[in-house]
Amino acid sequence: MLLINCPYCGERPELEFVHGGQAHIARPGNPAECSDQQWADYLYRRDNIKGVHAERWRHTHGCGRFFNALRDTTSDLFLATYKVGERPPAQSQQKRATA
């Protein structure tokens, strides 16, 4: 069970959260101008990253807010969590200290 740092509430166990899929996929501003392929990409195409992945979480059983997170899919460690509308923080290559 992950320990997730809600930007509004602090660290809480994963069972208070719902995963919301890949982050930073904006709904096209004028859907009528999208081609069918562009709309299909928006609906269905997602990355499957081995490494640092930007994803959405919602603190459903807490403040109810959506937020974004950078998580390393190989270690499950979070590099950062940040609010909707904010840019993802620059990724530090520093590893978390473990002996």
Partner 1 sequence: MSQGLRTSSGGRINRARAVRFTFDGRELSGFEGDTLASALLANGVHLVGRSFKYHRPRGLLTAGAEEPNALVAIRRDAARVTPNLRATEVELYEGLEAHSQNRWPSLKFDAGAINSLLSPFIPAGFYYKTFMWPRRAWHRLYEPRIRAAAGLGLAPEHPDPDSYSNRFAHCDVLVVGAGPAGLAAAQTAAASGARVILCDEQPELGGSLLGEADPGASLGENGRDWLTGTIRALLANPRVTVLTRTTAFGYFPHNLIGLEQRLSEHLAQPDPRQPRERQWQVRARQVVLATGAIERPLVFPGNDRPGVMLAGAVRTYLNRYGVLAGRRAVLVTTHDEAYRSALDLRRAGAAVTIVDARESASGELAEVARTAGLTVHTGTTVIGTHGRLRVKSVRIQRLDAQGRAQGAPERIDCDLVLMSGGYTPSVHLFSQSRGKVAWSEALQAFLPGESPEKVRCAGACRGVFSAAAARRDGESAAALAARDCGHAVNIAIGEPQPVQGAGAAAPGDLPQPGGNPPAKAFVDWQNDVTSRDLLLAAREGFRSIEHVKRYTTTGMATDQGKTSNLNALAIVARQLGKSIPEVGLTTFRMPYTPVTFGSFAGYTRGELFDPIRTTPIHDWAARQGAVFEDVGLWKRARYFPRNGESMHAAVARECEAVRRGCGLFDASTLGKIEVVGKDAVTFMNRLYVNGWTNLAVGRCRYGILLRDDGFIYDDGVVARIAEDRFHVTTTTGGAARVLAMMEDFLQTEWPDLSVWLTSTSEQWSVIALQGPRARQVLEGLVEGVDLSSTALPHMGVAPGKICGVPMRLFRVSFTGELGFEINVPADYGLAVWEAIHAAGEPHGITPYGTESMHVLRAEKGFIIVGQDTDGTVTPDDAGLAWAIGKQKPDFVGKRALERPAMHSPERKQLVGLLTAQPHVVLMEGAQIVADARAIPPSRPIGHVTSSYYSATLGRSIALALVRAGRSRMGQTLYVPMPDGALAVQVTSPVFYDPKGSRLDA
String marking each residue 23-62 x if it binds partner 1 according to CB under 8 A: ---xx--xxx-x-x--xx-xx------------x-x-x--
Burial 1-22 (b: 16+ CB within 10 A, else e): eeebebbeeeebeeebbeeeee
Q: Name the minimum Å distance from CB 92 to Zn ion.
A: 24
Q: Which of the 8 DSSP states describes residue 16?
A: G
Cα(53)–Cα(72) distance, integer angstroms: 6
Interaction partner, residue 8 (Zn ion, partner 1, none; CB < 5-8 Å by kind): Zn ion
Q: Where are the beta strands (DSSP E) in the chain?
A: 3-6, 10-13, 18-22, 52-58, 66-72, 78-83
Q: Which of the 8 DSSP states describes residue 55?
A: E
Which CB atom, from 84 or from 89, has the smaller least distance to partner 1?
A: 84
Q: Name the minimum Å distance from CB 66 to Zn ion.
A: 10
Residues in touch with partner 1 (CB under 8 A): 1-3, 13, 18, 20, 26-27, 30-32, 34, 36, 39-40, 42-43, 56, 58, 60, 64-66, 72, 74-77, 84-85, 96-99
